[in-house]
Structure 1
Amino acid sequence: MLRNREFRHFTVLFLFMAAVFSALGFAISRAAGFLCLISAAAFGMAFIIFTKARYQSIARLSGQIDLVLHKEDRLDLDELDEGELSILHSEITKMMLRIREQNDALKKEKIHLADSLADIAHQLRTPLTSANLTLSFLEDEPDADARRAFVRETEDLLLRMDWLITSLLKLSRLDAGVVEFQQEATEVDSLIHTALRPLLIPMELHNIELQIKTPGEIIIRCDPHWMTEALQNIIKNCMENAGDNGKLEIDCTDNALFTQIAIHDSGPGFAKQDIPRLFDRFYRGKSTNTAGYGIGLSLCRMVITQQGGTITAKNHPEGGAVFLIRFPK
């Protein structure tokens, strides 16, 4: 306790006052002097006991803080009686719990980052290896037609790599929270047709039947650019699953609780074990197109959920897969 400068100053002042009042008491009478001495001693002893108990409580708090700073897993703070020290105890407990939660979150983020980097390296390595192999064939191929085929294959690989890198950059921006979505009142019919525009020719080439049901002027609040991209990725996924001579239905409904966009294809649907992980990043299930990277659906979910919507996927009772996008009112 004597390490505390304020306590030392109080002790000196207390002893000085006790000596002065005891001297005044003895000047009056011996009884008054002894009464002053006994009162000063009793008060001083009570103060020391009380202060020592408070210092012991503070020392316990300090010890626990030191354990947390040294990454101790335990958090064992005894409850204190009401008062300023109890309030301090409560605030320190909250602070340490918050620090623990942040440390756990940072550990998970480090693990996620390491896994993501490993996945990204793996995803980029595959087309790079294919491109290098194609170029080596191109160098030794004398036939002009075969060389042109190798060049087209290399261009396709470079386009896939460009798409992959662009998608990864978008995911990293969404993860970092630097994307500011513009909440605008947008017609669902306009969103759907804008998303469909680049896919109409591939649908026609594969003879895919398209049905769109968007009754009335249904409005949702979203960022038109990002939402169009999300819808386009989902429609493209359904188009690939439907295959040649398949069917694609886009149905929009509106009620008092939410606006729903349902996208249904006539493909084989999802494998049961794939459904819980469809939107996981880099996940490629057994029913997934081998040319995919497992990024598109993850990107769609982030775009939709960060704008207040939800997206789910399941097998349709009539066959095929169905994606349900909902925006609450």
Structure 2
Amino acid sequence: MLRNSEFKKFSILFSLMAVTTVTLGFAINMAAGILAIASVTAFGVAFFAFTKARYESIAQISNQIDLVLHNDDHLYIGESDEGELSILHSEITKMTLCIREQNDALKKEKEHLADSLADIAHQLRTPLTSANIILSLLSNNPDENQRKALVRETEELFVQMDWLITSLLKLSRLDAGIVVFQSEQIDVNNLICNSLRPFLIPIELHNTALQIDVSKGMIIQGDSGWLSEAIQNILKNCIESAGDSGKIEIVCEDNPLFTEIAIHDSGAGFEKEDLPYLFDRFYRGKNSEATGYGIGLALCKIIITRQGGTITAKNHQQGGAIFVIRFPK
């Protein structure tokens, strides 16, 4: 309290006024002087006690703020009956709660980042280990045909790693919020055709039957490039699930509420316990033989939901899996 320059100035001013008042009181008569001393003393004691109490409250608040700055988890600022201090208490309590929530959010983000980095390292380590083994076999294998087969297998692993790294970069850009989606009118038929183009050769090689039912003139609003990326991830999953001589069916419907794109494959469908986690990143299912990295569907969901759409996945009543994308009108 005595460190406050304003309090020092007031104390000096009060002392001068007290001396002047007492002097004038005694100049009048003895009783006036004694009354002046009593009044000055009472006022001084009351003011000092009141000011000390206020400074103690302020010091308590200062200590609590210091605890906040040092990330104390057991923070409490008590209520105050005083007007201005009560308002100050209330505002600082709001601030501390806000800071605590932000700290909790940051801790969760750090934990999520650590888990994601561990998952990414694991995903990258798998093809790298396989490539290492193949290179060892390649260096010690004199058979020309086997060497060519091993080289092709290595090339496939590098293609997988390239896709994995590209997808992870896209996920990180979306998470960071630096992707700006364009809003344009998209013809659904063109969107489906563009999404299918990279898979036409694999579909032919695997003898996959493809059935498309899209009405002309169906329009949705969004970013055609990113939506094509999302649909390609679904198609990739469906083609792998359908296998040789399988079937892929794409049906688009339009109504006054939404536009729907449904993609159905003739594969084995999903395990019941996997259904709630299909769009979680790095989730590969309970089946230990599951292929993929658990990134495609997570990326797909982020792209669609960030543009106002929804996506669900379930087992089709006629067998296989079905993905349903909806864009509200």
TM beyond 0.5: yes
Deviations 1:180-239 (A, max 9, x none): 222222222221111011112222332323233333423222221111101110111112
Q: What SS is found at the alignment partner of 1:274?
A: helix
Does structure 1 conserve the Cα–Cα contact (< 8 Å) formed by 2:253 and 2:261?
A: yes
| Superposition pairs of residues 57-206 of structure 1, within 5 angstroms | 57-81=57-81, 83-206=83-206
Give, in whole Å, the separation in 1 of the partners of 2:49 and 2:324.
Answer: 69
Give, in whole Å, the separation in 2 of the partners of 1:228 and 1:201.
Answer: 18
| Superposition pairs of residues 18-57 of structure 1, within 5 angstroms | 18-57=18-57
Judge which range, 281-290 or 269-278, deviates more: 281-290
Amino acid at match of 2:265: D
In the other structure, the counterpart of 2:327 is 327
Q: What SS is found at the alignment partner of 2:46?
A: helix
Amino acid at match of 1:56: E
Does structure 1 conserve the Cα–Cα contact (< 8 Å) formed by 2:187 and 2:218?
A: yes
Amino acid at match of 2:253: T
Q: What SS is found at the alignment partner of 2:234?
A: helix
Does structure 1 conserve the Cα–Cα contact (< 8 Å) formed by 2:284 and 2:291?
A: no
Amino acid at match of 1:233: N
Q: What SS is found at the alignment partner of 1:102?
A: helix
Deviations 1:285-327 (A, max 9, x none): 1358733111111111121222222222122233221222223
Residues 255 and 24 (structure 1 numbering): CA distance in 2 closer, same or farther, change over 3 Å? Answer: farther
Give, in whole Å, the separation in 2 of the partners of 1:189 and 1:88.
Answer: 61
TM normalised by structure 2 equals 0.92
In the other structure, the counterpart of 2:267 is 267
Does structure 1 conserve the Cα–Cα contact (< 8 Å) formed by 2:265 and 2:322?
A: yes
Give, in whole Å, the separation in 1 of the partners of 2:195 and 2:107.
Answer: 39
In the other structure, the counterpart of 1:248 is 248
Give, in whole Å, the separation in 1 of the partners of 2:289 and 2:220.
Answer: 31
- Cα deviation, residue 139, structure 1: 1.9
Give, in whole Å, the separation in 1 of the partners of 2:258 and 2:64.
Answer: 49
Amino acid at match of 1:306: R
Judge which range, 35-44 or 46-55, deviates more: 35-44
Give, in whole Å, the separation in 2 of the partners of 1:81 and 1:262.
Answer: 63
Amino acid at match of 1:57: S
Q: What SS is found at the alignment partner of 2:62?
A: helix
CA RMSD of aligned residues (A): 2.1
Amino acid at match of 1:265: D
Amino acid at match of 1:184: E
Does structure 1 conserve the Cα–Cα contact (< 8 Å) formed by 2:274 and 2:285?
A: yes
Give the gaps of 5 or more residues in structure 1.
none
Amino acid at match of 1:73: D
Residues 287 and 313 (structure 1 numbering): CA distance in 2 closer, same or farther, change over 3 Å? Answer: farther
Judge which range, 26-35 or 150-159, deviates more: 26-35
Residues 251 and 30 (structure 1 numbering): CA distance in 2 closer, same or farther, change over 3 Å? Answer: farther
Residues 13 and 236 (structure 1 numbering): CA distance in 2 closer, same or farther, change over 3 Å? Answer: same
Give, in whole Å, the separation in 2 of the partners of 1:261 and 1:86.
Answer: 57
Amino acid at match of 1:230: A
Give, in whole Å, the separation in 1 of the partners of 2:72 and 2:142.
Answer: 68
Give, in whole Å, the separation in 2 of the partners of 1:122 and 1:108.
Answer: 21
In the other structure, the counterpart of 2:286 is 286
Does structure 1 conserve the Cα–Cα contact (< 8 Å) formed by 2:311 and 2:324?
A: yes
Amino acid at match of 2:113: L
Residues 120 and 217 (structure 1 numbering): CA distance in 2 closer, same or farther, change over 3 Å? Answer: same
Amino acid at match of 1:45: V
Alignment coverage as a number of residue pairs: 329
Give, in whole Å, the separation in 2 of the partners of 1:37 and 1:260.
Answer: 90
Residues 289 and 323 (structure 1 numbering): CA distance in 2 closer, same or farther, change over 3 Å? Answer: farther
Amino acid at match of 2:327: F
Give, in whole Å, the separation in 1 of the partners of 2:164 and 2:65.
Answer: 46
Give, in whole Å, the separation in 2 of the partners of 1:289 and 1:203.
Answer: 23
TM normalised by structure 1 equals 0.92
Give the gaps of 5 or more residues in structure 2.
none
In the other structure, the counterpart of 1:313 is 313
Give, in whole Å, the separation in 2 of the partners of 1:82 and 1:110.
Answer: 41
